[in-house]
Chain A
Amino acid sequence: MSGATTASGATTASGATTASGATTASGATTAAPDAAYNFAYLDEQTKRMLRRALLKAVAIPGYQVPFASREMPLAYGWGTGGMQVTAAILGSADVLKVIDQGADDTTNAVSIRAFFARTAGVATTESTAQATVIQTRHRIPEFPLREGQTIVYQVPQPEPLRKLEPRETETRRMHAMADYGVMHVKLYEDIARHGRVTLAYDYPVLVNRRHVMAPSPIPAFDNPKMHFSPALQLFGAGREKRLYAVPPFTSVESLAFEDHPFHPWKADCACDLCGATDSYLDEVIIDDSGGKLFVCSDTDHCATRRAEGHRGAKAGHALTAAE
């Protein structure tokens, strides 16, 4: 699935215009908000409720704050939690970037960006550096986040203990008492069976040395980027009705053992389009005879590098001929 989304991303990212046509890679198109909606879709009382919950979440890093999740005009699982958080924190001067699996031009990203462009009239961008608010699904941008930026994660399952303990009452008690032995049991089992921890995404982290937190399904590769990040990190789970947060400059440690340290896995090669060796790669199947391409999952990162003249091993491939 990620291959398919990225395939479309890789072919069009350099094109600088997205399906919506309202946004360019260089920055910011704005239009007046649609008068039929309140600013950023949600009513003011709802946004106050969300902000109160967010303040509590920021005050207790990694703690899951229950909130009254609203019905959004798209299905659960498409980012309703992240959208509510974005709606609550968005101001008219903000510049919004939305990514899905690292790509700016997949259906989910384009739709959510268009949604806020229409209901809030905010400027949108594909550039990580220019954005003030970044809503994301499954990735943290490769370009380092800076102070003053806010990244909003869409979260399907906020409870890191859920697969190990199905009872909500019990997991809350476990969080309250920092009873996290079972979390390491999962890692112990992986090492006993496979010789290493096999979790590739949604790799549990310990926030501020207190709460174990699900980082949302970002690849383990992105976990180190959360540690002492200068940006504010907010998490919203719409269906599960939970918000949580990691304030700037907070410790976020990936759980591991002393003799089996955490390892951020990625495909062991360079991006075939831009030649980057330090970015997270997606594997894209390109024909029926097993041909494949490894490309940056962060389309903004890849496009920026190519604009700077970096070229990967298959930069002239037919799939990229449009460039």
Chain B
Amino acid sequence: MISYEMALGLSLVPVFIVAGSFRLVDIVNASGPGGSPFRCCRPSSSI
């Protein structure tokens, strides 16, 4: 249980770093038309 949750939580860290915020609206805007999709810049987290 701990192993998969650790991987799941660490996969979100790059998203927060790129978005620069914990707000879901900012995260959506960062990956929207003005920004780059996270699965392109962070493929490891996407996997």
Q: Do A and B bind each other?
A: no
